[in-house]
Structure formats: structure tokens, C-alpha cells
Amino acid sequence: MRTLILLLSFFTVTATAGESQTLLKDRPGRSQVMAQCAMCHSLDYITQNDTILDRAGWEKTVGKMINVMGASINNADKQTIIDYLAQNYGK
Amino acid sequence: MVDRRHFIKKAAGSLAALGGLSLLQRSGLAVATGAEQSTIMDVLPGKEALIKKTYRPPNYETPVNYFDSPFTPNNRFFVRYHNAVIPDVKISEWRLRIGGDAIRTPLELTLEQLRKDFKPVEIAALCLCSGNRRGLFQPHVPGIQWGSGAMGNALWRGVRLKDVLAGAGIGKSALEVSLDGADSGVHKTTPDFVKSLPLAKALDENTLIAFEMNGEPLPHWNGFPARLIIPGWTATYWMKHLTAVNVISKPFDGFWMKTAYRIPKDRFPNGQFGSQETGTTMPITEMVVNSLITNLMDGQTLAVAKPMEIKGIAWDGGNGIAQVDVSTDGGNSWHQATLRQDYGRFSWRQWQYVLEPKRPGAYRIMARATSHSGASQPLEPIPNPSGYHHNAVQKITIQLA
């Protein structure tokens, strides 16, 4: 039951979103970012924080997503994601 | 009836043309570049166009011009979620569970029982996101880059939480009351959004389980079928889609209490949650005194010939607004504004001031509210790591030609 509710609701929220309009910069690492981050949230969470976080800030944020928010991202992807965010959306 | 599953209502071209940017600039303060670019007008099912901050979880703010009235229309009321799984709650399946280790007799209530078995209460109260205006902090603070629209004033109708808890019996060991809603994260490992209140606040006569907003059932995106109302406190405690209320004997230690929504103790007054304080931080609780100009845009040009009405709103955490002062010369001189109808100490208060301009040129307009406790707004926001409590005096410039 929980799974069903979860699935339906996930699509509910996805369906209301024009979120496919949010385009991340097409640079190395984008596919990992899209695969991992977009599982739980739209990518405008990244773009709206453009130039606010430096590398250490993005490291902390990605670390929080894994350690606090429960994202299961392996170390290789984690590093790719941090590099991508720091290089393309860093301060 | 809107079918959320199959229906995507796009913002019309005319709305896109309006653009989020011009609406953000109303406040006269700059948000970060990224925040500007990812801000557009968008329509959630059942709502009218709002300023989209993030699609999923949905975070949408109200354009400031809708604050130029005593109550904010339900279909323009801001939307704020932490987690993306938001079920469509059916009244027939919905139950409110009252429990916890410090409750004598756990209860399960239907919406019908809540409505029929308890005395109805209606309160006008401002619902304000703790991070409202976060996007205006300099230097910028990470998080949802809210402008001035993550708030709304409404008439909430429901029943007192203390009446409902009385039926279940509160044990002597009761310390806090935790609150859970139907929404959750995509992963099972994501911390569920659960908050707690000090027992005294939960038992306050103004703390309600509300099922109506401005005379209508709560909109889906604002917590249908029932949400908590804690007048005077920021909206983080106003649990939407309320499903569980637990009276507990120990401080609740979930992420959303222990780590999130905290402020430095030495910079803000009114610590009101002793069981959750550490040596240096405390949970954000009461709103601070604040005001907003609602009828003028920064950079706007108006005719010099006419008397110019400056209108706005002011609020605080429940002392009520005593006075609003307006300056039209960048803070050199201040004039008392006229306060409009009083809807109670938890509602925002509308105000107005009429300027009779003598000459063309630039006018630097500022507004500053003072509460009945004597608290007033600072000229600059008080820095804090999460960007809460932005209540700096607003400054906008208009041109009279």
C-alpha cells in the first residue's frame, strides 16, 4: 500500500511540474547529476543556488544529501557530482 | 475537479511575459543570479499562477500585489514542501491519530468527528515561512531563494488542539507534542518531515487543527484535509495533511528539530522552546516584527501631479502592530502611517500613507513597523546561517515625473 501511494504520488508531483524545462549545463558529469539528484528533487534546486556556493559549499551540500537525506550515491559518482556542481554552479 | 495525475496546466504566454524577475524586483533588493534565472510563473493544479522557486518538491511564492488585501486568496496562497511525495488525501481514508508515550488513551479520529465533537474556532493569522526573503540576504545564503512572497494571511477555521488532546488524556510526563503529516521523501531513508511543539504551545487556546481557510476547505497544496495553525509562530510548525499528534516525554530528536530550523541564541530574542535549546542555538519560533510595501514597485515611474498612496502590511509574532512609520526621503524624516482594520493580533495589519509630492525626481521610500511590545525593524537583516527572520526595513526608489 505504501509503495502504491508512493508511486502514484511521485508521478503526481512529477506530472504537475514543467521541470523538464530546467536545463543543466551540458558538461561532463551532467548525466550523473541528473540521474542521482533528480531522483528526489527538481534540478532548479541546483540552478537557483548558482554562484552562491563555492566548492566547499557544494561538497557540504552533496554530503548532506547522502548522510542526512538518505541518497545512496557511490563515492565515484559523489566526486563527479561535486566537481560538476563546483565547476558549473560554483561561486 | 482537477485531475492532478494527468493534468499539466502551463502558465499562459501572457504570464510568462510578465516574468518572475520584474515581480521579484518589487522588493527593491537583489536576489542571486541563479535564483532570478530559475524563477518563472507557473500554475499548480487547483492554483492560479504563482512564482515558481522549485518544481519538486513544489515551492511557489505569491506575487506581492496579492498582498494588497486583508486576506490572501486560497488559489494564490504560497506553497512550501520539504519532501516530494505528497499524497492526494481522501477524507474517507484520512484519520488523525493521537498517541505518544505521554498520552493516556490513544485516539483515532475521522474528519467528521473532529468537526462534530469539538467547538469550532476561527482565527485570522499570518502563515509565514521561516525563510521568507532568504534570497535577499547579502551575502547570499543557500536554500530556497525566497523573495517576499512565502507568506499569506488567512481566516483559519478548525478546532483547538488542546480540546482534542483533552479527550485522550495528557500524562504527567508530557514535555513536547510531535506532529506528522501525510507527505514523505522519495527514499525510505529520507527523514520524514516531523516537528514538535513545547507542551504549553500545543495547549495554547490559539493553536488549532484547521480544516478551512477563508471559508473553504483547505486547498490540497496547503494541507488538505487538516493542518495545524500556530498563530504567531513561523509556518514550519503548521503541519500540513496532519496525520499524527504524539504527546511525548522526551525532546523530539528528528532532523527537522535537532538540525534544521535553528537560529543562533545570541542574535534573536524570544527563545520559547527550552527543551530544544542547546548552548548556542534554538529552534526558530515566533515571527519577528516586519512590514512590506504592497502597491509600489522599485524603479516605478509615477506622475508628480497626484497625491501618491503608499500601502502595505505589517505584522509580528502576536503582540500586534502599534505603529508603522513611512519615510519618503531615504530615512531622513518619518511619518506615521494610518493603520487599517484590526483583524486580531495574529493577522497582518494593512496600513497606508499619502504623500503629496511637490517636485519631480527620485523618492527613496521606506517603511518600518513597531509592535505593541516595542520591537521594531532593523535597517539591515540580522545574519544567521540559514537565512531566517529577514525583517530589515524595505527600501524602494520610485521616480516622479
What are the tens digits of pLDDT across the range B290-303? 999 999 999 999 98
Q: Does A74 touch chain B if contact means CB atoms closer than 8 Å? A: no
Average pLDDT over residues B125-141: 97
List pLDDT tens digits, range A49-85. 999 999 999 999 999 999 999 999 999 999 999 999 9
Query: Residues 6 or more apart from B56 whose CB is under 8 A from it?
Result: A13, A14, A17, A19, A41, A42, B84
Report the residue from B10, B56, B259 with minimal CB separation from A42.
B56
Question: Could A50 and B33 be called an inter-chain contact, meaning their C-beta atoms sit closer than 8 Å?
Answer: yes
Across the interface, of A5, A12, A42, the residue whose CB is closest to B55 is A42
Q: Is the pLDDT of residue B249 over 80?
A: yes
- pLDDT of B21 over the 80 cut: no
Residue A6 clears pLDDT 60, i.e. is over it: no
pTM recorded for the entire structure: 0.91
Encode burial over B382-396: b for 16+ CB neighbours within 10 A, e otherwise.
Answer: bebebbbbbbbbbbb
Cβ neighbourhood burial of A1 (10 Å; 0-12, 13-18, 19+): exposed
Taking the CA of residue B311 and the nearest CA in chain A, the distance in Å comes to 30
pLDDT at res. B24: 42
Residues of B in contact with A68 (CB under 8 A): 191, 255, 259
Per-residue CA distances from B315 to A29, B353, B356, B360, B394 (Å): 46, 17, 26, 32, 14
pLDDT 10s digits, B165-214: 999 999 999 999 999 999 999 999 999 999 999 999 999 999 999 999 99
Mean local confidence (pLDDT), B318-328: 98
Indicate yes or no: CB of A47 within 8 angstroms of CB of B37.
Answer: yes
Provide the pLDDT for residue B269. 79
Q: Per-residue confidence at B34, pLDDT binned at 50, 70, 90?
A: low
ipTM of this complex prediction, to 2 decimal places: 0.88
Instruction: Quote the cell numbers at residue B168.
Output: 485522550
Could you tell me which chain A residue has the CA closest to the CA of B82? Answer: A41
What pLDDT was estimated at residue B31? 65
- High-pLDDT (> 90) share of chain B, %: 87
| Predicted confidence (pLDDT) at residue B156 exceeds the cutoff of 80 | yes
Range with the poorest average pLDDT among B9-13, B21-25, B157-161, B283-287: B9-13
Those residues with Cβ within 8 angstroms of residue B91's Cβ, 6 or more apart along the chain or in another chain: B111, B225
pLDDT at B216: 98
pLDDT (tens digit per residue) in B210-219: 999 999 999 9
Tell me, what's the pLDDT at B13? 30
Report how far apart, in Å, the C-alpha atoms of B51 and of each of B20, B344, B356 are. 6, 29, 33
- Residue B3 — very low, low, confident or very high, per pLDDT cuts 50/70/90? very low
pLDDT averaged over every residue in chain B = 91
Mean pLDDT of B102-129: 98
